[in-house]
Amino acid sequence: MANKNLGLLGEQFVTDESTYLNRRGLLKALGFGGAMAAMPAQAGVFDLFGGDDEAKSPIFQRKPLAYKTQHPKPDLILTPEQKVMTHNNFYEFGTAKTDPANNGQGMQVEPWTLKVEGEVGKPGTVDVWQWMQKAGLEERIYRMRCVEAWSMVIPWIGFELGKFLQQFEPTSRAKYVAFETLYDPEQFPGQKSRRLGGGIDYPYVEGLRMDEAMHPLTLLSVGLYGKTLAPQNGAPIRLVVPWKYGFKGIKSIVKIKLVEKMPPTTWNLLASGEYGFYANVNPAVDHPRWSQATERFIGAGALSVKRQPTLPFNGYGEQVASLYTGMDLKKFY
Ligand SMILES: Nc1nc2c(c(=O)[nH]1)N[C@H]1C(S)=C(S)[C@@H](COP(=O)(O)O)O[C@H]1N2
Ligand SMILES: [Mo]
Give, using CA atoms, the residue closest to atom 15 of ligand 1: 246
Give, using CA atoms, the residue closest to atom 5 of ligand 1: 90
Q: What is the pLDDT along the chain (333 residues), one digit of tens a residue?
A: 232 222 222 233 222 333 333 323 333 333 333 333 333 333 332 333 344 445 555 579 999 999 999 999 999 999 999 999 999 999 999 999 999 999 999 999 999 999 999 999 999 999 999 999 999 999 999 999 999 999 999 999 999 999 999 999 999 999 999 999 999 999 999 999 999 999 999 999 999 999 999 999 999 999 999 999 999 999 999 999 999 999 999 999 999 999 999 999 999 999 999 999 999 999 999 999 999 999 999 999 765 677 999 999 999 999 999 999 999 999 999
Please indicate if the annotation marks 197 as binding a ligand. Answer: no
Q: Do the bridges between strand 150-160 and strand 294-297 make them parallel or antiparallel, or are there none, so unpaired?
A: parallel
Nearest ligand, CA 250: 1
Rounded to two decimals, the pTM is: 0.85
Give a yes or no: residue 55 inside a domain.
yes
Number of domain units in the chain? 1
Give a yes or no: residue 329 inside a domain.
no
Give a yes or no: residue 152 inside a domain.
yes
Give the DSSP per-residue string, 263-324.
PP-HHHHH-TTT--SS-B--TTS-BTTB--SEEEE--SSGGG-EEEEPPGGGGTHHHHGGGG
Mutational pocket test of ligand 1: of 89, 107, 148, the residue with most ligand atoms within 8 Å of the beta carbon: 89
Please indicate if the annotation marks 325 as binding a ligand. Answer: no
The CATH number linked to 153 is 3.90.420.10
CA of 248 to the centre of ligand 1 (A): 8
Give a yes or no: residue 331 inside a domain.
no
**Boundaries of domain holding 40:** 4-324
Give a yes or no: residue 76 inside a domain.
yes
CA of 4 to the centre of ligand 2 (A): 25
CA of 89 to the centre of ligand 2 (A): 6
Handedness of CA 196, 198, 200, 206 (dihedral sign): negative
Give a yes or no: residue 332 inside a domain.
no
Q: Which helix (H) or strand (E) holds 111?
A: none
Give a yes or no: residue 121 inside a domain.
yes
Give a yes or no: residue 333 inside a domain.
no
Please indicate if the annotation marks 233 as binding a ligand. Answer: yes
- Which atom of ligand 1 is the closest one to the Cα of 251? 3
Question: CA 323, 327, 332 angle in degrees (round to 5)?
Answer: 100
Please indicate if the annotation marks 276 as binding a ligand. Answer: no
CA of 43 to the centre of ligand 1 (A): 19
